Structures are given as structure tokens and as C-alpha cells.
Structure 1
Amino acid sequence: MGNENLPLRFPHQPILEDQAPEREQSPPAAADDDHPPETARCDWDFSLSAVVSSAASTSSDAIGVVEFDQSNSFLATGGIARKIRIYTARKLLPSSDQNGGRTAAAAFLDHAAACDYYMCTPAKLSSLKWKPGSGSRVIGSGDYDGAVMEYDLEKRVPVFERDEHGGRRVWSMDYSHSDPNLGASGSDDGTMQMWDTRSDGGNSVASVRPNRLASSPVCCVEFNPFGGPLIGVGCADRKIYGYDVRRTADPVFVLDGHRKAVTYTRFLDLRTIVSSSVDGCLMMWATEDRRVIRTYSGHLNGRRFVGLSVWRSGGLLSCGSENNRVFVYEKMGRTDLGSGFEPPAAAAQPPRCEGGFVSSVCWRQSGEEERCTLVAGGSDGVLQVFNGEKRPCS
């Protein structure tokens, strides 16, 4: 594949209007990238392993979030349908399990058959996170009604609910890996709230307004999964803020380089953050000296949440796109490593409306470095599973 832009293509999917970031700011001066891209030394081959859909899939079933648990054994999805669906990962990877990572043909599955079970939620979901240390039993959610909830998946009942944001939409929530009882959420109200899951209601642990001059929505929050007290916060004011959770009065760093709202932040390692924005770019940052390491472009993202995921052990980044494609970038350069093909899903399924987009992506954080699994959700409720295999290095 070399250095060509060859993205994975999705079948057509209808537009989901109310997932769009609603606020944009005037662009700042472009950040200098004094680290030129390096040529990727290894290529990847991607193949479609499974397509999960239903005959009645529409924009009302849009998948806004896809999350593997810590054991990589279970997959959860959520979105507009007000359902948390739980899948066993091996059911979605039948061909790769049997053929050592190579997929002979894509499996076409129905959500009802592929899904182990689902739980109905009171509102549309914008975020899901498996609670660390819970043995894949507890999952948290943030929703469009401004609530943060936890669900016991074994008993299939809600066990925790907080409304920290006055009914304003929660865009993102996460748990601390060093203290799983500590959670955080970001909202349209312009705040990042930290809360203790052992306290149902009452005062939050901390309330942070990153932009003190304007009520810029907080679009994403993520605790550093490598440990330590750091949390990254992405805002509609184009900036990424880093806070020490023990002292949240002031940020320990501010990263300024995007031209529009920052929709996702992901820690690639202890000192490196990858961010996504509706300016159509991903940026990789060194948090210690607050500089841009690299900028990745090629996907289309001018308005909507299209997902961002990093495969840490393999050094690959992935995001969706508003032209129905999944993009994969190698962290050491700007090479798009996806394979260019039209999955057979386009012919095997009923025609979809034009103008849809890929709305969520998630890597399976497996220990293998030669093979990988990427799951992507679409704005029409279609879930697609891709297997990747590394070619020999040149």
C-alpha cells in the first residue's frame, strides 16, 4: 500500500444531525510541526471480518460509541437507540479465530443474534466506559439528558446515577485507572466534573471550567490510563487542558493548535496525547514541552463526532470520516494504512441513505503486534469488524 491514501470504505449511512458539535471558534495561528513525517516501514493489510446490522437499521439506531473491556473479551455499543448492547468478542471474530488471523470471508450477522444481551437506557448515549477493576461487570455511561449512570451487567440494573451538569448533554465520561471510584464527565455546560461513585448525589469531588471567560462545551475527558493523577480535557475552544486531579485549580498544561473544537483526546503513552478536531486533523502532542509532534490529515471531519482510538502496542491511530470511511494512521508518519475496497456489505444489505458517516471506532488492545482488530460503528447502526495483519518490513 505504500504511502497512498487507501481508506477502508463503509456502506452509505444516513446523517445524524444531533451528534454534531454545536459551537466553533475562530481559528488560531497554525502550529508549526518541526518533526517532518517519517516513511512507514511496514504496511498493513485489512480485511472485513464481520458486519452486524438489522433489517430495520436507520439513523435512530446510530452507534455513537464502541468500547472493548479491559480483558478484550467483551464489546459494548451505545447511541441513539437508548440501548447498551453487549457482545462477546469471539462471536464477532469467527474467521480470525479459526484461521490464525486471516479472514476468508466476512460474516453477516443480525444484532439480535450477535448481541449477547442489551439494556435499555433512559436517554440517548454519548459515552460508555467499562469500570476498571470490576471484572467487566460494571459499565458507566454519559447521556444526552446530562446524567452519568453505572450499570451492573450481571444483574442488569442501574446502580449509580448523578446529574452533575444541570441537564446539559454529557459528551464524555471516564474512570481513573489508579482509583476506579473516581470518575469524570464533560458537558455542554462548559465544565468537567469529577465525582466519587461511592457517593450517589451530593457535591462533586471537583468542578473545573477550563475556559473561564466563556462557557465552551467540554467535548472529551480521559484519565491517563498509564497511571498517575493526570486527566486530559478537550474543549470547543480548540484547546486541550491537562489537570492534576489532586489540584484542579489550574491546568498543568494547555495545548493550543487546532482550528476548531477538539472532540477527542487519547493518551498514546505516559507523555503523549493524540487529539481529534472538527478541523479535519489529528494531532500528536508531547505534553512535557507542549509541542505538536505530528499532524495527521486525510479524513473528512468538519462537524460531527467520528470517533478516535489508539492501538498503543501497535502504534496505530484510527478515526472515522464524514465520507463513510475508516482511516488508519501509523504514529510515525502520515501514511494512511487502510485498504481501499468496498465491503460486500454494500451489496448484501438494503440500500442506505446517502450522506452518512462513520461515527465511532475502537481498537482491540491485544498483546499481538503483528495482528490487530478494529471495530467501527456507523450512523445507521451498522457495526463492522476489521482484521489487520502486518506485512514484512521493507
Structure 2
Amino acid sequence: MTDRPLTRNIDMTRAPFDIGQYRAAGGYASVEKMLKTMAPGDVLDLVKNSGLKGRGGAGFPTGLKWSFVPMGENAPKTKYLVVNADEMEPGTFKDRLLMEGDPHLLLEGMMIAAYTIQANTAYIFLRGEYLRAEKLLKNAIAEAHSKGLLGRNIQGSGFDLEIILHTSAGRYICGEETALLNALEGKRANPRAKPPFPQVSGLWGKPTIVNNVETLCNLPGIVNYGIEWYKGLGLGADAGTKLCGVSGRVKNPGCWELPLGTPIRELLEDKAGGMCDGYELRAFLPGGGSTDFLLPQHLDLTLDYDVIGKAGSRLATGTMIVLDDQTCPVGMVGNLMKFFSHESCGWCTPCRDGLPWIDEIFQRFEKGGGLESDMQVLTDHLEYLGPGRTFCALAPGAMAPLGSALRHFRDDFHDHIHGGGCPWQR
């Protein structure tokens, strides 16, 4: 057994394991065990009872999500598994580590998920810029085929599975699962109205599960070692481990596998080495660019979904973006607003019109043309672009750093308005 089920094989100073090395280290044992001794319903119950939550941002229970797929004699025969590997959340790079460091682990997790929902075709929707991951995944898929782990009648089980790698054309909105499905079908990458949810009507109208890379990489350990082992990895209410990253002015930026329930201070100070000399921590986004700012007094909170939620933010992708005391918070948020404005698909009026308006206001702040009335306009947009106002979570996600910045850094905004532009650039 291991306490690092996601990264135990990863050493970025060498090439990832080929299939021979991977199997020698215990790889694909979970698939062999599953095909020989477990029915799809057994795997579903195992994952539901393990407490595994989605690692893509929402934190929805994985087994519960799978349970919405129609099963049985009257269910559609064609089903799909889709891996959301379109990792474009600002500050997030955890899935890249897994795909470049241990590509066979992802394939093993995909086999478990596909068998559970009885999908015979699976797609990896990969961020187009991840060229090294693309090469490694293609090679891993070919190796798995050559050893009879993919294709028809895998290991004499009667289960068939093909895995197809598809690279994105490069839009952030494709990280939203229904926009991803539209893109995979060759359509414009707009989010779909829900219901129906993808579990019932997804890719080409068939039942589809969309899971994040890290989520699927948890499955081999759960099948191999069981529920109690997996729950025991966590230090708090949540089960398992989590890939957690840190970027910004820290001494050792990077990504580490930590037990859920680890104090944030341990991530920042022990793993990331603390702030660079001469800089102090002012605030941080705990889970990527679409989460609310937390402050230094929150460092002793633990990396748990509910704990971070009660503090007013989200664990989300688990990748922290650090704001230091010598970086303009208005400029930082302005960069995020420019990104979200550019990446809006334009489908919803609030997002299409509201985000460029916000971006324009931030540009005026930087150039010295900001108005006091702009503060109320920004505050109004927190409601106009909030939850329930748009087809997807892009706009509400953009409002998270904006709303918390207006609360925590109001004086900085006023300095821009009344001081003739950004004080950090004078």
C-alpha cells in the first residue's frame, strides 16, 4: 500500500514508466482484479462508499454522478466516458503532472470508470498546448493495446474498450462539460441547457460521464486497497489525497500530493518554501483563478472542501495563487477579468456584455480614468453575473475573485481612482 497513490510513480527527472515498468510496479492490477471478480455494480458501490469527490473543481461525489447513468436491459447500449483534460483554469497545472508523469495511471482509471458504466468508447479531451502529454498518452494507449488491455474482449472478460485522444482547439469554455461535448461533436463550444444532464443525454445524445483526470487517477487505488484504506488517507472529513499546487512569489513553486485535511500553512510554508525573501503574504486564491481570496489568517484552515467553503471560498482545483505585498491586487484581478472576458463563449448576454464592461473598467483604473461610480457598477455586476444568471459557471466563477477583492482591497481601488492610476506603476 502507499500513501501517495497519485504520484508514487512520478519522477520528473526521468521518462515516465513504460507499460512493462508500470505493470512491474503494480499497474493494471486493479483492472485485472475488477474484470475477474467484480460486476459493474460492485465497482459503483465501492466508489460511492469511498467518498471520492470530483477533483476538477466542483467536488461532486463521483459515485453518485455515475449512478445517474441508465443501466439495465432497457438502458441505451451506447454510452461514453469522456476525460476532461482541458486544463485551462488560471494557476492550475495538476493534471499536466499526472499525464506527463504517469500516463498509464490515467488509462487504468479510465478502464475502471468505463467498465462501471459499461461504456465501450472513451475520449480524452486534451488541452491543445499539452504537446508532451499528447505524445505520452498516444504512446501509452498503443502500449495498452499491444498488451491486450484495450480493444475487444479485454483479457477474455467480454468487455470491449477503445480510448481516443482528442486535442482541443484552445478555449477555456471547453472545460465546462457540456461545452466540451459540443466541441467533441464538432460544434461551437457553447454550454448546453441542463437538464438533460450528460449522464442521461450527453455525447451524440447518449449517456455520458465526464470526469477530471485527477478524479480518474484515484480509482486504481480504491479498487486495489478498498474503502477503509482510501478514507484513512484523509486527515479530516474528506477522503483521499489531493494534488495541490502553489504559484506566485514563493521560494519553491510546484505541485504536491497531500492528504485532504492538511493545513494550508503546511502547503505554503513547508512544500512551497514560504514567501520569497523580502515579500510578505497578502492574500491567496486557494483553488485557481475562479475562487475567492483568502487572507493570511486563513493559513491554519485545512484543505477540505467544506472547511474552505465555510471560510468563503472553494478548494476547487486545489492550486493556490499567491498575492504578495508588492503586487497590485487591482492589477492581479484585472488580469483575471481580461482572461475571463476573452474566454467567454458569448452565448449568454450577462457574460458576453458584462465581462468586457468589467475589463474596460479595470483598464481605466490602470490608466487613471477610473470613477468612484465604477465601484457601484462592479458591485452590481456581482449580482448580474452571479449564480443562476448564465448557462454555465464561467461568469459566476469570474465574480469570485472580483467580489472578494472589492471586500478586501477596497482602499487599493480608491487609490487607483483618486491617485491617477495604478500606484505600483508610478
- TM-score, structure 1 as length reference: 0.27
Pick 1 or 2: higher relative contact order, CA cutoff 8 A, min separation 6: 1
Please say which structure displays the higher CA radius of gyration.
Answer: 2
Tell me which protein shows more strand as a share of its residues: 1
